[in-house]
Amino acid sequence: MLKKEFLKAILSMAYLLLLGFYSNSSIVAQESRDWFFMGYLYHNESDNLNDRYPYMQVALSKLNNPDKILAVTFSNFEGEYSFYGTAINPLEDYVITLYIKDKTQKYIIPHFDSTPSFKGNINAHIKLKPNLIYFDKENLKISDDEKTLTVKDFLLKQNKFLYEDEFWLLQSIPNKSLKISLNNLSIDENKLIEILSLLPLNKVKQITLYKELNEQSFYSGLLLLDVDALPRPQQNQKVHFFSLKELK
């Protein structure tokens, strides 16, 4: 009899240990790249690009530690931003921070009550007020003589940019790196450095600098290259809007 009771006690302990192990494993596994946040920044519900906010800097953090930035990106020409590749836990609350001219605005992404049955993007659209100002725009002038240069040599010639320790900087804001994008495409930073060193300027249609106006921003701005030899993203005509709530 004692043997049976002892055996039952051992089995019960083993069961509880296994249950605790799998519970902990489940919690850890939920921070995953199976899901990612993606959304549009807009001020009017339409498919008109004039109703969107392109090239706005967007930061991601957790609600329990909103000042610890997990990732930073820019919205594209459609006003769409994405944190694809950043591991998240859908059972936790997150915060989106937007950098407007002289202020930041924060929006909460509420948690799921249980692990989502789907994998992929979690919509995080944000409706903003119209006519927000958040960058200074400058189209860089390219002369005929300069078209034989590589993009890297052209940028260094401008006395506007610095290249230090594999980071591009604005001379006027040397303490922050400058984000560079080719045709709004997601390109690995290491490959981007090589591309700029080899890409001839005659393959570039336009170079536009979007300089940040908010001192709290992570990047000093975005340098967008319109390159003829690379594909361009297609516009998404059908968007189902809602908006995250602002965190006051």
Residue 99 CA to residue 210 CA, distance in Å, equals 13
Structural fold of domain 35-133+236-246: Immunoglobulin-like (2.60.40)
Residue 30 CA to residue 68 CA, distance in Å, equals 20
pLDDT at 30: 74
The predicted-structure confidence for 74-108, as pLDDT tens digits, reads as follows 999 999 999 999 999 999 999 999 999 989 999 99
| pTM, full prediction | 0.83
Average pLDDT value for the chain: 86
The predicted-structure confidence for 203-217, as pLDDT tens digits, reads as follows 999 999 999 999 999
Residue 61 CA to residue 49 CA, distance in Å, equals 27
CATH class of 135-227: mainly beta
- The answer to whether the beta carbons of residues 26 and 91 sit under 8 Å apart is no
Which candidate, 225, 226, 162, 152, places its Cα nearest to that of 194? Answer: 152
Over residues 221-241, mean pLDDT: 77
The predicted-structure confidence for 112-170, as pLDDT tens digits, reads as follows 999 999 999 999 999 999 999 999 999 999 999 999 999 999 999 998 999 998 899 99
What percentage of the chain has pLDDT greater than the value 90?
A: 70
Both tokens of 135, joined, read 């960058």
Per-residue confidence band for 8, with pLDDT thresholds at 50, 70 and 90: low
